[in-house]
Amino acid sequence: MTTIKPIAAALCAGLVLAGTTAQAGEITVVSWGGAYTKSQVEAYQKPWMAKTGHKIKSVDAPNPAAPIKAQVKAGNVSIDVADVEYSDAVRYCDEGLLELIDPAVLPPAPDGTPATEDFIDGGLTDCAVANIVWSTVLAYDASKFKGAKPTSISDLFDVKKFPGKRGLRKGAKPNLEMALMADGVPAAEVYKMLGTPAGVKRAFAKLDSIKDHVVWWEAGAQPPQLLADGEVIMTTAYNGRIFNAAIGEDKPFEIVWDGQILDFDLFVIPRGAPNKDLALDFIKFATGTKPLADQAKYIAYGPARKSSGELVGLYQDGKTRMGPHMPTAEANMKNALVNNFEFWADRDSELNERFNAWIATN
């Protein structure tokens, strides 16, 4: 766990909510939309509203972190809670754009284990509390393949063996990592390689090999739709979105776990949030053991607490065991890469600037 920096007693007091207020309030929670937001509404939002009497305005965004900086700088913050990626949580915290969250206020596990020991490694930072472990994977529509099917991340880049359009997220992350793994770099050496000019050049060279075959996506709901519409034969995607389409909507989609990139999503409170105390109360509730386990009924993302794991059971259809569909299942981890959030916190702007320039060239 990231060490919490000393802060003034007054700020600590401002972050701790001793029970709910007598008067009903409303908070604005921004998340990623689609099946993911639905899982949060069912597991976190509805139960919290029923328990407290407060209301939640749920807002979807392609990237919930995007508006935070502008709102804080303008002193006009409308977001109370945002669900963000790890590198954004770390960078925004360092820039003073987020409220500090003392992990001591988070509920313990059912057996009394403190939250600081119950969250998986990396699940708590100075300004953020993790809720899920998810991954970016390669996925394809099995009905479009009559013979050989994709089995590795290198197949994403093999347009001779598998001709057709590919879907990629529009951004440097995780395309550069996947490009290097597809080019033969072992997962354990990816970030060391990507930290060098030669490694960056190698990654972009690999991306060059499929540039003319790419359909770019930005929101998590897009890859399953691209597959369903036949616009691409394979795509990178968030594992939970493909699970929802395959199991929840009976689409013929398959996941290739080779080369998956694991990551966290975390709840943050923008500095100056209009309902800071209620925002913290919601985060405390949502990241408790049972709500985190309950979310796994609706989407195949692993809960960020150890104590939640044993409570994860069946999908909402009442028959599909969720364990094998989690990115952290042993069988799915054979060639997995854990996102290096420190690398991206330091290099995000630089590499995305280069990525955008690369896209703009013919």
Per-residue pLDDT of the chain (362 residues; tens, 9 = 90+): 444 343 333 333 333 333 444 588 999 999 999 899 999 999 999 999 999 999 999 999 999 999 999 999 999 999 999 999 998 999 999 999 999 999 999 999 999 999 999 998 889 999 999 999 999 999 999 999 999 999 999 999 999 999 999 999 999 999 999 999 999 999 999 999 999 999 999 999 999 999 999 999 999 999 999 999 999 999 999 999 999 999 999 999 999 999 999 999 999 999 999 999 999 999 999 999 999 999 999 999 999 999 998 898 899 889 999 989 999 888 898 889 989 988 998 899 999 999 999 999 96
Q: Is residue 321 part of a domain?
A: yes
Residues 213 and 288 in one domain: no
Residues 154 and 127 in one domain: no
* Arithmetic mean of pLDDT over the chain: 92
Query: What's the pLDDT score for residue 9?
Result: 36
Query: What's the pLDDT score for residue 121?
Result: 84
Residues 177 and 71 in one domain: no
Residues 247 and 276 in one domain: no
Residues 121 and 26 in one domain: yes
Residues 348 and 231 in one domain: yes
Beta carbons within 8 Å of 112's beta carbon, 6+ residues apart = none
Q: Is residue 2 part of a domain?
A: no
Query: What's the pLDDT score for residue 22?
Result: 53
Residues 198 and 339 in one domain: yes
* Spatial contact of 232 and 166, defined as CB atoms under 8 Å apart: yes
Q: Is residue 101 part of a domain?
A: yes
Which DSSP string corresponds to 279-301? Answer: HHHHHHHHTSHHHHHHHTTTS--
CA distances (Å), origin 359, targets 163, 213, 215, 291, 362: 21, 12, 12, 41, 8
Q: Is residue 3 part of a domain?
A: no
Residues 304 and 256 in one domain: no
Q: Which domain holds residue 158?
A: 135-262+329-360
The CATH number of whichever domain residue 243 belongs to comes to 3.40.190.10
Structure tokens at 207: 């991306």
Q: Is residue 163 part of a domain?
A: yes
pLDDT tens figures, 205-252? 999 999 999 999 999 999 999 999 999 999 999 999 999 999 999 999
Residues 100 and 181 in one domain: no
Query: What's the pLDDT score for residue 128?
Result: 98
Q: Is residue 345 part of a domain?
A: yes
Relative orientation angle of helices 341-360 and 197-208, to the nearest 10 degrees: 50
Structural domains in the chain (count): 2
Residues 146 and 101 in one domain: no
* Spatial contact of 289 and 108, defined as CB atoms under 8 Å apart: no
| Position 251, amino acid | K
Q: Is residue 274 part of a domain?
A: yes
Q: Is residue 1 part of a domain?
A: no
Residues 257 and 354 in one domain: yes
| Position 335, amino acid | N
Residues 300 and 166 in one domain: no
